[in-house]
Amino acid sequence: MARIRNNLNGHTIYKVSGNYNEINFEIQIKCSVHNIWGEVEHSRIYKSEHYDPKINSKKSITEEVFKILKSSDQQLKTIFEEDYSSEELIKSLFYKFTQEDVVNSENIKILSNHYQYFFNVFNSESHLENIKTFVSDKLVNKRYSPVKLEIGKSEIMTSTEFLNRYIPFEIEIMHKIVCIIYEEMNMDDFIEYLIKIIEEQATSQDEFDLEEDFFDSESEKEDLKNSIFAVYDNYFKKSEEK
């Protein structure tokens, strides 16, 4: 028995041929997509009974069809084999357990973006741990105890400045999500926390040098404020866009 690899019009196929009890046989090994394409190519082009001036055009079309089929096959394979990390599953369960309450409280239907924004902002290890705890308590029907957030006050921006920039409704949705796992806080405290999260991330980088006189520099204050706004411009609609 021999194993042979051949090319059929540029596409690799595998053949196993041999002899058994004086009977010759050949087995072709190829995927179903290749088989569908082969049937069309064989009957319409290779075995065409009449001269066709458009044969090259038809060859080109069948080749493009094969590429589409092959791409679709790969995409289906990716979907079939796709796996989820534990973090992705936890986030999905958190959405499943909470979205109805948030929808009812805000009378809205679509929350996918707001949840994504929430996960993007509250992305530290401690926040994820609290989300995990909430989900695990829900799974075993245990009462969840909300965690208290430590609210730090920014010297860069006030909550009023922040609220004046954005449509309040957008912020309120994230506020509702946050208050599911953290102790109830008023809007001002929530805004202070949002500002402080990004401020701390920005100042932990080399871009800003927190010397004693840092907050005396109006230009550096403005730069940091713009960095904070740059983050939340991706999540909240600006007031002037009403």
Give me the pLDDT at residue 136, please. 92
Report the candidate in 145, 152, 239 with the shortest Cα–Cα distance to residue 191.
Answer: 152
Q: H-type helices in 82-182, by residue range? A: 86-106, 112-121, 125-139, 159-165, 168-181
Q: For residue 213, name the pLDDT band (cuts at 50, 70, 90).
A: very low
Average pLDDT over residues 32-48: 59
More confidently predicted of 92 and 219: 92
Place of tokens 């245990």: 142
Give me the pLDDT at residue 64, please. 74
Give me the pLDDT at residue 168, please. 85
Give me the pLDDT at residue 156, please. 83
Q: Are 224 and 156 in contact (CB under 8 A)?
A: yes
More confidently predicted of 184 and 21: 184
The answer on pLDDT for 70 being more than 90 is no
More confidently predicted of 124 and 242: 124
HSE (side-chain half, CA atoms, 13 Å) at 19: 2
User: What does DSSP say about strands 11-20 and 23-29: parallel, antiparallel, or unpaired?
Assistant: antiparallel
Q: Which amino acid is at 134?
A: F
Determine which of 90-104, 118-132, 164-178, 216-230 has the lowest per-residue pLDDT on average: 216-230
Give me the pLDDT at residue 41, please. 61
Give me the pLDDT at residue 82, please. 63
Q: What pTM was computed for the model?
A: 0.61
The answer on pLDDT for 38 being more than 90 is no
Q: For residue 219, name the pLDDT band (cuts at 50, 70, 90).
A: confident
Average pLDDT over residues 41-53: 58
Q: For residue 226, name the pLDDT band (cuts at 50, 70, 90).
A: confident
For CA atoms 223, 225, 226, 230, give the dihedral sign. Answer: positive
Average pLDDT over residues 116-141: 91
The answer on pLDDT for 54 being more than 50 is yes
| 127-138: b (≥16 Cβ within 10 Å) or e | bbebbbebbeeb
